[in-house]
Amino acid sequence: MKRPFRIAVTGAAGSISNSLLFRLAAGEVFGTDQPIILQLIERSEAMEALRGLAMELEDCAFPLLHAVRLHDNPEDGFRNVHFAFLIGAKPRGPGMERADLLAANAEIFSRQGRALNDHANPDVKVLVVGNPANTNALIASRNAPDLSPSQFTAMSRLDHNRAKGMIANRTGFNTADIRKVAVWGNHSASQFPDVRNAEAMGEPIWPGLDHDWVDNTFIPRVQKRGAEIIDARGQSSAASAAQGAIDHMRDWYMGTPEGDFVSMCIVSDGSYGIAKGIVFSFPVRCRYGRYQIVQGLPIDDAAQKRLDATEKELLEEKDAVKHLLPAETEDAHNNLSVSLRSGANRYGEEDRDDDSEACVLRTDRVI
């Protein structure tokens, strides 16, 4: 029997977590032979609801679920965790400007970044779901000086899945047969869902698409899908957001399908001319518990304008919270290099040690 993974989930009594936790316990993320321990974190006033959720988890009798721990603070909740889903965030209230929302969440994610730095497993993988996710992930990462920026990501997989689903509906192909969809930029209405390189059954789909439909219907609809769901249901995406989180973490840990790539919000290393040090969604491949940006995709003038717009928004968000970004972590974020190496438990310095003369065997190069 494998040793259990410890998995932290914030906002654990919320609607996204209600869809996520049972699928984690069923083995849909880390495999049907991998036991887990859930460390669930909520606000003090939501702890009774969280206890009820824990009862339901117990009543499911999941063989892989070895323990459930309930916490009302991140310092205890992140202790020794291997994976962290940061779902809880302050929602935007009536009359609240985006800058106010950024400031309110900055305090939450600054504390969570410090708690992960001080208490989580050194190899922890972090996925930020709570919005504004990209900048929340940046804040958490910048407040974790002992962890690599490559350990912090935000979720654009929901947008990626939305784009894939709409293309499948438009073309009639099954989603399993559609590959190489990409989402660039911010998880906001400025994002750029890109199907210029997409394939169905191994053949390019771009020549067969109505480009006016792509520009005037498909892209705006993916960008504003969250608002469309709220208008229809009276509440925000939950099950689809949980699916996006599952897909993101599973592919990061297990690897992406051969011949395909997915979208992840990660700290930019300057690829495609994007400013270094912001959390930006790129097309990536994953293997050995790592990700690497897919290089060399063609970017035409129209696509470049969209990349510039979403980059500008993220730089403005970063500027709005710059007082909460410790200077000591700036250099690490502006000089990030991530490669696909085996050994999901190694980062930075340890990888460089493996390239020393003492290492006599390496068979883990992928790209």
- Respond yes or no: is residue 187 known to be catalytic: yes
222 touches 198 (CB < 8 A): no
Residues 6+ apart with CB under 8 A from 49: 13, 42
**Quick one: pLDDT band at residue 342, thresholds 50, 70, 90?**
very low
Q: How many CB atoms lie within 10 A of CB 149?
A: 26
CA nearest 292: which of 266, 316, 321?
266
The token pair that represents 304 in the structure block: 């470049």
Residue 11 marked in a binding site: yes
For the chain, report the end-to-end CA distance as a whole number of angstroms. Answer: 33
CA nearest 173: which of 124, 131, 209, 148?
209
Whether the ω angle into residue 132 lies within 30 degrees of 0, i.e. cis, is yes
From the number of C-beta atoms within 10 Å of its C-beta (0-12, 13-18, 19+), residue 143 rates as: buried
Residue 3 marked in a binding site: no
Q: Where are the beta strands (DSSP E) in the chain?
A: 5-10, 36-41, 65-71, 83-86, 125-128, 152-154, 178-179, 182-184, 192-194, 199-200, 203-204, 262-267, 279-287, 290-293
How far is the C-alpha of 95 from the C-alpha of 80, rounded, in Å?
39
Q: What is the DSSP letter of 33?
A: T
CA nearest 334: which of 356, 323, 350, 318?
318
Q: How many CB atoms lie within 10 A of CB 11?
A: 21
299 touches 307 (CB < 8 A): yes
| pLDDT top residue among 30 and 235 | 30
Q: Residues 179-227: pLDDT tens digits?
A: 999 999 999 999 999 999 999 999 999 999 999 999 999 999 999 999 8
Residue 221 marked in a binding site: no
Q: Residues 97-116: pLDDT tens digits?
A: 777 788 888 889 999 999 99
How far is the C-alpha of 5 from the C-alpha of 24, rounded, in Å?
11
Residue 12 marked in a binding site: yes
Amino acid at 34: Q
**Quick one: pLDDT band at residue 341, thresholds 50, 70, 90?**
very low
Residue 216 marked in a binding site: no
Q: Is the pLDDT of residue 366 over 60?
A: no
How far is the C-alpha of 28 from the C-alpha of 242, rounded, in Å?
12
Q: Is the pLDDT of residue 231 over 50?
A: yes
CA nearest 135: which of 333, 347, 292, 348?
333
The DSSP H or E segment spanning 37 is strand 36-41
Residue 112 marked in a binding site: yes
Question: Which 3-state string (H, E, C) describes 176-222?
Answer: HHEECCEEEECCCCCCEEECCCCEECCEECHHHCCHHHHHHHHHHHH
Residue 289 marked in a binding site: no
Q: How many CB atoms lie within 10 A of CB 331?
A: 10
Neighbouring-strand partners of residue 262: 284
Catalytic residue among 160, 187, 248, 333: 187
> In the predicted model, what is the mean pLDDT of the chain?
91
Neighbouring-strand partners of residue 9: 40, 85
pLDDT of residue 235: 85
Residue 105 marked in a binding site: yes
How far is the C-alpha of 226 from the C-alpha of 233, rounded, in Å?
11
Q: Residues 242-300: pLDDT tens digits?
A: 999 999 999 999 999 999 999 999 999 999 999 999 999 999 999 989 999 999 999 99
The token pair that represents 291 in the structure block: 């990700």
CA nearest 321: which of 84, 108, 94, 74?
108
The token pair that represents 53 in the structure block: 């959720």
Domains of the chain, first to last: 5-154 (3.40.50.720), 157-316 (3.90.110.10)
